[in-house]
Amino acid sequence: MIELLSVSKKYGDAFAVKDISMVIGKGELCVLIGPSGCGKSTTLKMINRMIEPSSGDILIDSESAATFRPELLRRRIGYVIQSVGLFPHMTVEENIAVVPRLLKWERSRVAARIAELLELVKLDPLKYREKYPAELSGGEAQRVGVARALAADPPILLMDEPFGAIDPLSRERLQYEFVKIQKELGKTVVFVTHDIDEAIRIADKIAILRAGELVQYDTPENILAAPANKFVHDFVGIDRALKRLSRFKVGKLMRPTTSIAIANRLTSLDELRKKGRFSWVTDENMRLQGWVELTKIATEKELKEALTELDADVVSAHVDTSLKNALSKMLEHGVKTLAVVDENTRLTGEIRMEDIVDFTDGGDST
């Protein structure tokens, strides 16, 4: 856990960071975000004392950071910077081994750890161990950067725009993989970025800074639902309702649904008609086949004729599809309801546009 208590940093008479107080819980991924010069990097660097605060205190697991020798403090806190900062004269393994060696680990333990970390960041140890940073792509280099920061298994990671210089496609993959690793290892992460989409994608909590002051500190869902002021409102963008939907999964709004098995007798047709005009159609294993308009059928023969077939891989959602993507699919295919299927395309429920709209309204009013 990291606690910032009225932390300020002054250069001359100007405040770079002004009276920031916040608590970052253990295992949380906290994103510091704001426009250039808002003090986000300064705040980050005060945590490992690359910059000394002018006033206030920073507690790490209830102990003041100021009581440690900076070098010893930093060996317990992983640090990743935008330019990666891999040492060009050291191989990948030597780069990763830097902190373990500072901590005087045994040689065999260091070697085992290097292999483990390279596997973790999805780089083949045999292929990458001996490479020099100049031989790596931007994405590979940043993977090594993350592995290096994790080398001595520090409970806290500080990351200063780590994926900023990477192409958008690799960046998204890195973000996804990083969040997975972070959750698996339970690391507390403070992450600086200026990219609001990145923040919304990865953050447990977002701290929005402006001119050295903390403007709003909350979950992404709450910030998007209720920006504290016009600055935050503008900063998160006009599509904040959509961005907010990206934070929720279809499972949250999924309804149970009814279906007709294509081979079954239509005994309960009248029952079904009472519930609505349409019904999903599945095979005998509940795999989604399509839908029918119930008013058009009376016999088994008519069911097959009236069936509108659906490709379940394309026109359906999963419980862990984001609401934003579900809505996007509805718009793309011109439908107001999507079937929700499991990984074997078995029907598990449905998601309706009206529910998403209601959910968005409800969120905005809170």
Residues that bind another protein in the complex, under the rule CB under 8 A = 48, 50, 70-76, 79, 81, 83-91, 98-99, 102, 130, 132, 134, 148, 158
Determine phi and psi for 3, rounding to 5 degrees: -120, 125
Smaller CB separation from another protein, 162 or 212:
162
Smaller CB separation from another protein, 71 or 184:
71
Which positions ≥6 away from 152 have C-beta within 8 Å?
75, 76, 78, 99, 100, 103, 105
Q: How far is the CB of 148 from another protein (least distance, A)?
A: 8
Distance CA 269, CA 236 (A): 49
Question: In this structure, what token pair is assigned to residue 108?
Answer: 């065999």
Q: How far is the CB of 102 from another protein (least distance, A)?
A: 6
Smaller CB separation from another protein, 134 or 314:
134
Q: How far is the CB of 92 from another protein (least distance, A)?
A: 13
Smaller CB separation from another protein, 82 or 259:
82
Residue 289 corresponds to which amino acid?
Answer: Q
Smaller CB separation from another protein, 148 or 201:
148
Smaller CB separation from another protein, 49 or 352:
49
DSSP-derived secondary structure for 232-276: HHHHH-TTHHHHHHTTSBGGGT-B---EEETTS--TTHHHHHHH-
Determine phi and psi for 50, rounding to 5 degrees: -65, -25
Q: How far is the CB of 74 from another protein (least distance, A)?
A: 4
Q: How far is the CB of 280 from another protein (least distance, A)?
A: 56
Distance CA 43, CA 76 (A): 18
Q: How far is the CB of 81 from another protein (least distance, A)?
A: 6
Of 78, 52, 83, 81, give the one whose Cα is nearest residue 66.
Answer: 52
